[in-house]
Structure 1
């Protein structure tokens, strides 16, 4: 998408706009925009059934999104049958919750399992709604493999944020991964010249950040860590790779995102060890 001075909407010549359809390049005003994770589409392009994915047809095949939602729901049901709560009364909760001393003691798997546990039905319901909303748009746009890499890198980034800011607080939830998806979407839209408040993602990010800082018992580190890693991964997958002429750019971006996830996992172990020996790092 490009900004071209005083161009006018091709459907409304009396309206000036700085936004163009990311598919055909025609200038479009807000009334003619169809938002997608990779830019705005004009009404005609939004109706296409080709490989150009729009917000209307992006929900066609978000298989991995449904699998992730299913795993989260099944794990939450297991929590309910075993007893759950913020105090970690159930075995499933106790064995999987992200907790710095346990990670430092060798239970590294918690940096993943903590992202599939939840502290209540509202917690899991909100996160799964957000995962469905974002995954239905992004997964068909970038493919299952890249979407999976984006999701788990964001999840691990969130775990790293937890272990840096609050390693002794038992922490659960898919929020870190969800924040990463929001960050990736916002970065992709900004690269197309779309203002942060011009689409629903910008307001969604602002609302969730406000909630993060004003409501008690919400992991600030988990949300900010997921957001940072998701935004960086989103830039590589949704912005950098599509702009390159090299055919292997997508694979290079994928490899870097996977490396980021590995680095986050290594950082989690280091942060947990440091916290046990010296106290919280931040």
Structure 2
């Protein structure tokens, strides 16, 4: 709940003091957004204020995940991707990742998904083809993830990331080639771009810079060979939808008398779970259909 308006559920928080606040009480800053009380101090140094369960109008269910001083989940995701890349490189004895057994076992290839190896829908998002590939993705993950994680909290941030990753895999399964090898965190990262766009819209800040970045990246996805546009678009759509479910859906579906922190949190998580189920259902369903089609043809 907003610390100044206890009747307003919010998924945003001040990046200086950490208090949850609605868009009316936040102003854009160089990094994240600051509440109007912090801005009144006009740069005066203060220690971070963390809401306690006794604070007026703040629900324990919202206060805990809203405050994060460091983007620990983003650091963890970067570390996980780097460790997996290093392991694959050691197995391959170089950077020809197809020589890595782990890469072969985890990459997203439609016929192998059709063979029942559904874990590839998830694991492909933690593989990378080259040093350049992982470097660009991890830099993007750091830039996008650090503020987004602080804004919406670690659990929901990870929920959006996972939804976008599986959404990108679903798009590849639905519309992609049966012979292509797909791998990379870019589907999830495009999902974070979509999430940032939704946060900006919720904060009533001009979305033009974010939209420009998204359009530029989509153009690059089309013009540079070997990049999976489908994974990018799928991740973008699912990541934006998951974040909209967190920030907008509660006010759309909950009446004013039922709109409290706990109910808003439930609605947001229901949206994430539904999108996860849809993404997995698309991936698995296309895999089963692909397998049946090829059995009939054969």
Q: TM-score, normalised by structure 1?
A: 0.77
1:208-223 alignment runs, 5 A limit = 208-223=217-232
Structure 2, unaligned stretches of length 5 or more? 1-21, 52-66
Cα offset for 1:111? 0.6
Structure 2 equivalent of residue 44 of structure 1? 39
1:189-268 alignment runs, 5 A limit = 189-197=200-208, 199=209, 201-241=210-250, 245-247=259-261, 248-268=263-283
Structure 2 equivalent of residue 62 of structure 1? 71
1:40-189 alignment runs, 5 A limit = 44=39, 49-50=48-49, 60-83=69-92, 88-168=98-178, 169-189=180-200
Give the Cα–Cα distance (whole angstroms) in 2 for the partners of residues 41 and 204 of structure 1.
26
Distance of aligned partners of 1:144 and 1:192 in 2 relative to their CA distance in 1, 3 Å threshold: closer
Task: Write the deviation string for residues 154-207 of structure 1: whole angstroms up to 9, x where unpaired.
Answer: 00000001111214211000000000011011022123333322x4x3332122
Task: Write the deviation string for residues 37-87 of structure 1: whole angstroms up to 9, x where unpaired.
Answer: 6x67668179673459xxxxx982211111111110000001111127677
Task: Write the deviation string for residues 205-225 of structure 1: whole angstroms up to 9, x where unpaired.
Answer: 122111111111111110000
Structure 1, unaligned stretches of length 5 or more? 1-20, 53-57
- State how many pairs are aligned: 245
Report the RMSD for the aligned CA atoms in angstroms.
2.8
Give the Cα–Cα distance (whole angstroms) in 1 for the partners of residues 246 and 145 of structure 2.
15
Cα offset for 1:130? 1.3
Structure 2 equivalent of residue 34 of structure 1? 29
**Residue 23 of structure 2: SS of its match in structure 1?**
coil
